[in-house]
Amino acid sequence: MTPSRRAFAAIVGKDLRTELRTMRSLPAMVLFAVTTFIIFRFGLDRTALSGSLASGVVWTTLLFAAVLGINRIFLPEREEGGFDAFRLAPVDRPVLFAAKATVLFLYLLVLELIVVPVFAVFFLQEWSGLVPLVVILAATNLGFAALGTLISSMAVNSRARDLLVPLLLLPLVVPLMIAATSATAPLLEAAGPSYDKFGTWLLVLGLYDGIFCLVGYAVFDFLLED
Amino acid sequence: MSGRGIRQLSIATALVLFAGFALVFFWVPMDADQGFKQKIFYLHVPLAIVALAGFIAGGVEGYRHLRSDDRRHDANSYVFIHLSIIFGVAVLITGALWAKASWGHYWVWNEPTLVSFLIVFLLYCTYYPFRYAIEDRDRQARYASVFAITAGAFVPLNFMAVRMADSLIHPRVFATSDGGLPGSMMFTFLVCLAGIALLWVTLVKLELLGKQTSGQVSRLRRALEAEGLGGGQEATGTVGRRIAPNLEAQ
Amino acid sequence: MFDAVPNDDTGYVFAAYMVFLVLLLVYLGILGAKFQRINRDIGRLTDEVESGGDPGSAEAKSGAEEPTGV
């Protein structure tokens, strides 16, 4: 195994083990999402959702829960001097970006595995659209992961870091949200899923993911410089 | 960046803009569909194009700053984005006025280019709180360059996504009849575009000159203080000015 | 100028071009104020240097920006 791959595996392993042991981010994200669903039930005065309304509710909730997690992704590095340790190691800097993005992707995956079934139980009458939804979730998670890691690494070293992440992230994820919600809405129709423009939106998601993974990987060197 | 070209640039800008606006109001024929209010198009669209080009140029300068570590590129990036945001305000206001004249509301969600522009504008508005949240000057410049590059990459993606989300049922507010512009309108449009572009360049040069000069004044003051003179002078800067990029460290 | 809400197309076109002009003038005004402040600083520095008898006072003059003629 090359040093890069070893470092990658080490960072991912460390973060996942820490999360399992301390449960710092995930429970909060899940609770936040479920509570938000309850608020939507009362705010919208509806007990069943379908189509674009369902799509909007679930994606908005996932977005804000994701922001909670993104805020915290570099906290261990900042608090325990991990940045310095990483700078000293003979590893390519972008490996940290890839590792953290992978961790964030996995967090989001776990979040969705818990939250989306809850959403289905709360609001959906037709569940067959959930299977193709997994594809959309994965593609959107990748975009979140890349962009979230990039923004978080910049915000973690600044003042007002909790405010900075939502501030910078939200405008940047608008195209991602447009693609995700537009692809999801036909899947959650009460009459059963339709695949209207599914492929097109998936392509947009792929393009977005590709661009921001590349951008993040390319500029991360400069972000770690002291 | 010398201040020498500014005089010629200003004159050229004034002439081209004057010519453009004269064409708009005295020469170009009235649009058959929209009537007199279509004349806002000759102001609104060039402003938008120049603002977006400015944002992307800001990203390019950010990239050059990261490659060369030359502070001048960071200052360029800052000023390009600053001016494009101001032009962006003009875009949104003129767009709102056009929407009100055409549609009865100051804002319309079914005009994808206006919505896309709003999102881009909001993103770049976060540039300043972001910069000022980072205290270390070197790091601030580097992170700002990363932001400029990321945001520059975002602009085309955003326009594409918003355009796709727009259902074809909604008629475009700003569509001209037949989709193509007749020759006289195209010519007028190009003159106005040239004028607005020249204006942007002139203002950029002015602002950069201002930064250069205040940078030199700071250097002078510091040099004098080192020699024991100029000590009674109070700093004319606020915290914000200390943090904003200037062209001192050459 | 803006008390009456424009209620026909001419009003909107006029308002749009006016907004552009006003923004431009405000921006130039702010830049002008900034240049005035710089001039004042340079003047003060020059005075201090000249009263201090510093032989390097020639440098202070070169920092002045050339006037821009718009």
Alpha-carbon span B14 to B47, nearest angstrom: 16
- Check if the beta carbon of residue C14 is closer than 8 Å to that of residue C6: yes
pLDDT at position A115 is 94
Residue A175: its chain B contacts at CB < 8 A?
154, 157-158, 160-162
Residue given tokens 């424009």 in the structure block: C6
- Interchain pair B14, C70: CB under 8 A: yes
Residue C29: its chain B contacts at CB < 8 A?
none
3+ Cβ–Cβ pairs closer than 8 Å linking A and C: no
Q: What average pLDDT does this structure show over B58-85?
A: 94
Residue C52: its chain B contacts at CB < 8 A?
229-230
Closest B-chain CA to C36 = B210
Residue given tokens 């608090």 in the structure block: A79
- Interchain pair C19, B90: CB under 8 A: yes
The per-type count for chain B, helices as H runs and strands as E runs, is: 8, 0
pTM: 0.82
Phi, psi of A156 (to 5 degrees): -65, -25
Judged against a pLDDT cut of 70, whether residue B11 lies above it is answered with: yes
- Interchain pair B40, C68: CB under 8 A: no
Residue given tokens 């929407």 in the structure block: B99
- Interchain pair A154, B130: CB under 8 A: yes
Mean pLDDT of chain B: 83
Chains with ≥3 CB–CB distances under 8 Å to C: B
Confidence of residue C3 (pLDDT cuts 50, 70, 90): very low
Q: What average pLDDT does this structure show over B177-181?
A: 55
Confidence of residue A58 (pLDDT cuts 50, 70, 90): very high
Closest C-chain CA to B90 = C20
Query: What's the angle, vertex CA B153, arms to CA B147 and CA B156, rounded to 5?
Result: 135
C45 touches chain B (CB under 8 A): yes
Closest-CA distance, A223 to chain B, in angstroms, reads 7
Residue B143: its chain A contacts at CB < 8 A?
154, 158, 223
- Which secondary structure element, helix H or strand E, spans residue A151, and what is its range? helix A130-155
Assembly ipTM: 0.81
- Check if the beta carbon of residue B12 is closer than 8 Å to that of residue B198: yes
The per-type count for chain A, helices as H runs and strands as E runs, is: 10, 0
Judged against a pLDDT cut of 50, whether residue B250 lies above it is answered with: no
B199 touches chain C (CB under 8 A): yes
Closest-CA distance, B74 to chain A, in angstroms, reads 14
Mean pLDDT of chain A: 87
Closest B-chain CA to C62 = B216
Residue B134: its chain A contacts at CB < 8 A?
157-159
Task: Classify residue A96 by burial, with Cβ atoms within 10 Å: 0-12, 13-18, 19+.
Answer: buried
Closest B-chain CA to A220 = B146
Domain span including residue A103: 3-224
Per residue in A202-220, pLDDT (tens digit) is: 988 999 999 999 998 888 8
Judged against a pLDDT cut of 80, whether residue C57 lies above it is answered with: no
- Check if the beta carbon of residue B246 is closer than 8 Å to that of residue B211: yes
Beta bridge partners of B31: B35
Chains with ≥3 CB–CB distances under 8 Å to A: B
- Interchain pair B210, C23: CB under 8 A: no
What is the C-alpha R_g of chain B? Answer: 21
Q: What average pLDDT does this structure show over A152-172?
A: 85
Nearest to B149 among A155, A219, A226 (CB): A219
> Between C24 and C4, whose confidence is greater?
C24
C63 touches chain B (CB under 8 A): yes
Q: What average pLDDT does this structure show over B33-42?
A: 81
Closest B-chain CA to C28 = B203
Count of the separate structural domains present in chain A = 1
Closest-CA distance, B199 to chain C, in angstroms, reads 10
Q: Which stretch of A43-52, A74-83, B63-72, C44-53 has the lowest confidence by average pLDDT?
A: A74-83
Closest-CA distance, B29 to chain C, in angstroms, reads 15
- Interchain pair A164, B130: CB under 8 A: yes
The per-type count for chain C, helices as H runs and strands as E runs, is: 2, 0
Closest A-chain CA to B69 = A222
Phi, psi of A42 (to 5 degrees): -85, -35
Chains with ≥3 CB–CB distances under 8 Å to B: A, C
Closest CA to B137 of B5, B243, B1: B243
- Interchain pair B233, C19: CB under 8 A: no
